[in-house]
Amino acid sequence: MKAVVWSKENCGQCVQAKNMLKLRGIEFEERMIDNGRWTKADLLREVPSARSVPQIFLDEEYIGGFTELRERLQYVD
């Protein structure tokens, strides 16, 4: 399983999501917006309805935010 986490600095739920993935041993690519490489426009191309971060994909499937990730990982072992 591999994840993509769209995030930004000083985002508590972004940190929680990344920690949850690390604890589960799930590799992830972090796409931090506004750090020069990724932008909000890039995020909106991937998730047009995004109004906050984190926005998370698991195995190329859009999951949603931290709450949806937590719910999804409850059933994965």
Model-wide pTM > 0.85? yes
| 28: amino acid identity, one letter | F
* Domain ranges for the chain: 2-73
What pLDDT, on a 0 to 100 scale, did the predictor assign at position 34? 81
What pLDDT, on a 0 to 100 scale, did the predictor assign at position 76? 66
CA 74/CA 76 separation, integer angstroms:
6
**CATH number 3.40.30.10 is the correct assignment for the domain at 2-73:** yes
Rounded average pLDDT over 5-26: 96
Strands (E), 1-77: 2-7, 27-32, 55-58, 61-64
CA 36/CA 27 separation, integer angstroms:
23
Query: What does the pLDDT look like over 30-55, one tens digit per residue?
Result: 999 988 799 999 999 999 999 999 99
Are β-strands 2-7 and 27-32 bridged in parallel, bridged antiparallel, or unpaired? parallel
